[in-house]
Amino acid sequence: MKKIQKAFFSRDALVVAKELLGKVISYNNCSGIIVETEAYKKDPASHAFKITPRSEIMLNSYGKFYIYFIYGMYHCLNITTNKNDIGAVLIRSLQPLDGISIMKKRRKTSDIHNLLSGPGKLCQALNITKSLNNTNVDDKIKVYYYKNIKNSEIEKTKRIGIKESKDLDWRFYIKNNKFVSK
DNA sequence: TACTGGATTCACT
DNA sequence: GTGAATCCAGTAA
């Protein structure tokens, strides 16, 4: 599989979020196809709205993993975007590819549809924690080209929590895919 | 130093 | 559909 170059992530979060669909995320022999993403930019519902020590990794950086801990038990995996601005893409769901048996053990389930179908779930299955925060794409976690997703196959929806956007679509997933989060 | 709530998930009802 | 689990970043004092 061909690796994705860092420049891929220099573009706007909305573009990157859409184009990441169908790519593969791989870490320690476990991998999955990205089937759902969410774009984050400078809006009030986003960590990117206010620069803090935690979120400043998103400022003027791209192609880096922004990983944070939430609700006391889960991690969320983002990749920073927007070369000269602030932005990131949250990886929301993957379709399992490699390392399925070990991911089942980590997730304590045998249901393949429940392995990676959520931001917290996929971090648990891939064993991704905050220790990987601020690492570059391809340093430890790899991202590969895998298959092309046509525009007509992509469903767009609003992100939860966005107030001011009436006409912007922020969340992207592959239509009719059984592995997207509910 | 103390308080609040979250880019979630799961077990219940 | 509702609530619990559970830590830590952010904020205010």
Q: Which CATH number covers residue A53? A: 3.10.300.10
**Is the CB of residue A182 inside 7 Å of nucleic acid strand C?**
no
pLDDT by residue for chain A (182 residues), tens only, comes to 999 999 999 999 999 999 999 999 999 999 999 999 999 999 888 999 999 999 999 998 999 999 999 999 999 999 999 999 999 999 999 999 999 999 999 999 999 999 999 999 999 999 999 999 999 999 999 999 999 999 999 999 988 777 666 677 899 999 999 999 98
| Gap from A162 CA to B3 C1', Å | 26
Read off the DSSP letter of residue A13: H
Other beta carbons less than 10 A from residue A75's beta carbon: 20
**Is the CB of residue A144 inside 7 Å of nucleic acid strand C?**
no
Picking from A45, A114, A107, A37, the residue whose alpha carbon sits closest to that of residue A76 is A37
CA of residue A39 relative to chain centroid, distance: 9
**Quick check: is A179 in a domain?**
no
**Is the CB of residue A71 inside 7 Å of nucleic acid strand C?**
yes
Number of domains making up chain A: 1
- β pairing state of A171-174 and A24-27: unpaired
CB distance under 7 Å to strand B: residues: A 38, 40, 45-48, 55, 58, 66, 69-74, 76, 78, 88, 90, 92, 107, 109, 114, 118-122, 160-161, 181
**Quick check: is A180 in a domain?**
no
**Quick check: is A119 in a domain?**
yes
Strands (E), chain A: 24-27, 30-40, 65-70, 74-80, 88-98, 142-144, 154-157, 171-174
**Quick check: is A1 in a domain?**
no
- For residue A101, the enclosing domain spans 6-174
Q: pTM value?
A: 0.96
